[in-house]
Amino acid sequence: MIIGLPLQRYYFSIILAMTSLSVNINKIATIRNSRGGNVPNVVEAAINIEKYGAQGITVHPRPDGRHIKYQDVYDLKKVLTTEFNIEGNPTDSFIKLVSEVVPTQVTLVPDAHDAITSNAGWDTVAHLSFLTSVVKEFKKQGIRVSIFVDPIEKMVEYAAVAGADRIELYTEPYASNYLDNRTDAIASYINAANMAVKVGLDINAGHDLNLQNLKYFAQNIPQLKEVSIGHALISDALYFGLEKTVHLYLDCLK
């Protein structure tokens, strides 16, 4: 028993260190909304995604309700058993929604109301006062707060000044440059991650991560706590099926 104990601790530490997969289900809602009704059912899909092994569910409700609707957020809260992450621009209506639902985590994203998808992180220096106020409000309710930032050390540093618990690194530039030169593509993210550790922030990441580029990213950012992936994962599920696709993404994070 004593001989086996260090090995048990070793494997336990590996399990603890594994990056969590939070599946963004917005695209499932987009398909549903294209025909009206409730097919596919986003709540049922989320329950299945949890059952298949994902450690969290992410939603990004926008004011126009073009994919996840506010009612979906309330419905999901009742049934989810893993981490619930709500992303969005902290407008008054978004703050009210998050305050009523009280998810595990809120991710603050500076997307315009008419943005197709998020395409930039916060300027945490210029918006420091606003972000500090919003972060304080959510943390009073026991909600973990993550701020969506570009891989720029100063933006990371000021996310900590604002009082955030985590940052989410915006990974579209990494994904776009990965095939040309993955070493160059990851460089700024390594620097940003090192800054996050220095100022006491945990690290999430998301946007355009997929089965091609996810493993390399996770290997080079060993501090990575969580990835939020939606578009690529749901698209891959059209070919592989949802259960197998979740397992494939989890394998990239081992």
Task: State the CATH number of the domain containing residue 42.
Answer: 3.20.20.70
**Any domain includes 86:** yes
Task: For residue 4, tell me if it sits in a domain.
Answer: no
Asked if 60 is an active-site residue, the reply is yes
Q: Which of 87, 157, 168, 226 is catalytic?
A: 87
Residue 135 in any domain: the answer is yes
SS (H, E, C) the chain: CCCCHHHHHHHHHHHHHCCEEEEECHHHHHHHHHHCCCCCCHHHHHHHHHHCCCCEEEECCCCCCCCCCHHHHHHHHHHCCCEEEEEECCCHHHHHHHHHHCCCEEEECCCCCCCCCCCCCCCCCCCHHHHHHHHHHHHHCCCEEEEEECCCHHHHHHHHHCCCCEEEEECHHHHHHCCCCHHHHHHHHHHHHHHHHHCCCEEEEECCCCCCCHHHHHHHCCCEEEEEECHHHHHHHHHHCHHHHHHHHHHHCC
What pLDDT does residue 183 have? Answer: 98
In a domain, residue 130? The reply is yes
If you average pLDDT over each of 3-12, 60-69, 76-85, 111-120, which comes out highest? Answer: 76-85
Report whether pLDDT(82) > 70.
yes
Segments forming the whole domain that contains residue 71: 19-252
pLDDT number for residue 112:
64
Give me the number of domains the chain comprises: 1
Look at residue 188 and tell me if it is in a domain.
yes
The verdict on whether 207 is a catalytic residue reads yes
From the list 50, 157, 168, 207, the catalytic residue is 207
Confirm whether 163 is domain-assigned: yes
On the question of pLDDT at 114 being above 90, the answer is no
Lowest-confidence segment of 47-61, 114-128, 186-200, 203-217 by average pLDDT: 114-128
Q: Is residue 5 part of a domain?
A: no
- The reported pLDDT for the residue numbered 63 is 83
Is pLDDT at 211 greater than 80 in this prediction? yes
The single residue of 50, 60, 67, 83 carrying the catalytic annotation is 60
Indicate whether 245 belongs to any domain: yes
